[in-house]
Amino acid sequence: MKIALIGRYGEGEIVTGPERFARELFLELKKRNYQVVFIEYFFSGYKDSSIFKKLFGKEDTYKNTIIRLGIIPFLLTLHSSKFDIIHIVNGQRFILFLLLLNQFIKGRIVTTPHGFLRNEIPVKNIWTKRYFIDLWVEKLLIKKSSLLIFPSNMLFDIFKKHFEINNKCQIIPNGVSNIFYSTDSSFLKIENSIKIVFYNGFDNSINRGLNELLFLLKNVKHRIELFVIGDSTKQSSFNNIELNFVSLMSNDDLKKFLQDKHFIIKSTSFDAFSIFVAECMTAGLIPIVNENIGINSFIEDKVNGFIYARNSGEELPDLINDLFKNKYDLESISNNAKKIYERLNWQNIGEEYISAYKKVL
């Protein structure tokens, strides 16, 4: 089976969730000795990007298996290489050319959506930042793909409401890297304060609900240390919350950073899955999530985490106050949270993707 993964691989060690997914899947397929190549584009912002390279460029970045191509070489490569599977691992604008000319290209198109763009794109920027192209790509991916693989039932249900989906569909959750997994560490005892981690992304283009979360946490009667990873746009402050902004970091640095933290929390904003939550659980942090996040299908309330109601203004503060009262066996819940790795390790997820590829050939 000859496989092309197409999307954004990213530069450096610090990349987005969809890029981390793409990298891990690529490495898993290589470990299994599949004939796989990763094809990406000379994206604006890359150090070697230029108009000429966006049209005609070609660069083999790692032993002919990670290739950066301009539009013309991209289409010629897909036409001549005759891949069995063309897997769109994260949606990018340059994929539009493949979708418009797919009748000239051999290979089954498989797509993994990581979110629903209509919920993420600010309407005011749809023309000024050419977001209409992204929406066009999303629509064509639904139409042209032989198989759509969603990371959660929640995201699948949203797509079904907005698109007429006649394609084959499958649910395969995102995998988690083994670098975060450890059976040695024990849950850190809560003493004077509770240490909570919140992921806020690379920028504020997507509202991850930090302000909404802060307004809920202000009603907690105890001291909270909230560590916000990523975007540091100024937020509201409250006396009981010590707000710490932390830069995005590599997996190795993140693993060290998480060692003395208690919980990973999500706001009420929608999230299709959240690889970050899975990574934190694997490291032993206890998740506190709402009903509006795809990964909650892997979380059992008060067993391996906590799920709070989306529209309840009192439930989350009451839960945090109870945590200070030692109402729950947090050591046991933390150990159960780690077990998510048994389901979401890349050996399992890779096997599911390979099985999915074979079904469409």
253-279: pLDDT as tens digits: 999 999 999 999 999 888 999 999 999
pLDDT value of position 20: 94
pLDDT at 124 over 90: no
The two three-digit tokens of residue 38, written as one number: 């990763």
Q: Which residues, including other chains, have CB under 8 Å from residue 85's CB and lie 6 or more apart? A: 1, 2, 3, 4, 107, 108, 110, 357, 360, 361
pLDDT at 120 over 90: no
Q: How many domains does the chain have?
A: 2
Distance, in Å, from the CA atom of 182 to the CA atom of 177, rounded to the nearest integer, reads 12
pLDDT value of position 183: 74
Nearest to 273 by CA among 190, 182, 188, 340: 340
- Write the DSSP symbol of residue 91: -
Distance, in Å, from the CA atom of 72 to the CA atom of 76, rounded to the nearest integer, reads 6
pLDDT value of position 314: 85
What confidence tier does 237 reach under pLDDT thresholds 50, 70, 90? confident
Please give the C-alpha separations between residue 135 and each of 23, 121, 123, 127, 145, in angstroms, as whole numbers. Answer: 24, 9, 11, 11, 15
Per the prediction, the chain carries an average pLDDT of 91
pLDDT value of position 269: 87
140 and 225 both lie in a single domain = no
326 and 355 both lie in a single domain = no
Domain that holds residue 184: 178-343
134 and 246 both lie in a single domain = no
CATH of the domain at 191: 3.40.50.2000
159 and 270 both lie in a single domain = no
267 and 207 both lie in a single domain = yes
CA 167 to chain centre: 23
349 and 337 both lie in a single domain = no
Phi, psi of 169 (to 5 degrees): -130, 150
pLDDT value of position 191: 86
129 and 210 both lie in a single domain = no
Distance, in Å, from the CA atom of 23 to the CA atom of 21, rounded to the nearest integer, reads 6
Please give the C-alpha separations between residue 180 and each of 25, 163, 184, 203, 253, in angstroms, as whole numbers. Answer: 17, 37, 12, 24, 11
pLDDT value of position 313: 73
168 and 183 both lie in a single domain = no
Angle 53-56-58 (CA atoms, 0-180°, nearest 5)?
Answer: 75
Identify which has the larger pLDDT, 66 or 126. 66
197 and 274 both lie in a single domain = yes
68 and 169 both lie in a single domain = yes
In this structure, the chain runs to a length of 361
What confidence tier does 125 reach under pLDDT thresholds 50, 70, 90? low
Distance, in Å, from the CA atom of 356 to the CA atom of 350, rounded to the nearest integer, reads 10
Burial class of residue 209 (count of CB atoms within 10 Å of its CB; 0-12, 13-18, 19+): buried
151 and 261 both lie in a single domain = no
151 and 190 both lie in a single domain = no
Phi, psi of 68 (to 5 degrees): -105, 125
